[in-house]
Amino acid sequence: MSNDASGLPQAAIDEMFRRSARRGILPERRPTSPPASGEQASSAAPSDWQPQDGSHATETPVPPASYRGLGSMHQSLEELSEQTGSLGVRLEELEQKLSEAADLGAAITRLEKRLGTALQQLMEMEARVSAISGKLRDTPSYGVRGEFTCESCGAQGSIAIPLKCTRCGKQGWWGWWPATE
């Protein structure tokens, strides 16, 4: 691997320099001392290069366009870092919302249980009311006011039934009389 921050293999860096030299951007790279046998050429810094014509370079060679792109790569990495931080904040917000949703889910579960209990009680009351209504319909006076028509005068709904006090024995009437004129 290379010693620079790009993480590019040394062979790739050497190839970039060779291409740049062919385009006239950089002088061709020439190591100052030949590598030992079995050893690859070490990565030479731009100050170790010599121009092809044998003269010594007086100026620092211009790095290839790919090296000039390192600044934009660094800027892109900074932008990615900011976006990652932003994503981290959003992830925390999402986790908070999920926690709130879990709390809401637990509240809904409790409410469902309470509604189930209320529904069960309502069904029991409905069954009791139905039983009472059935017994009431079986009584002789159930609905008599709406259904009674006198055979003698044709009056409808004017009906009374005798009642007797079981303590004193006095008899009275309970019912509906026609309005007096």
- Distance, CA of 113 to CA of 119 (rounded, Å): 10
pLDDT, tens digit (0-9, with 9 covering 90-100), for 46-65: 445 555 555 555 555 555 55
- Domain ranges for the chain, please list them: 1-32+41-54, 87-133
CA distance 31 to 25: 18
Question: pLDDT tens for residues 92-141?
Answer: 999 998 888 888 889 999 999 999 999 999 999 999 999 999 998 888 78
Q: What is the pLDDT of residue 119?
A: 95
Please tell me what DSSP assigns to residue 149.
B
- Taking the C-alpha atoms of residue 11 and residue 143, their distance in angstroms, rounded to an integer, is 106
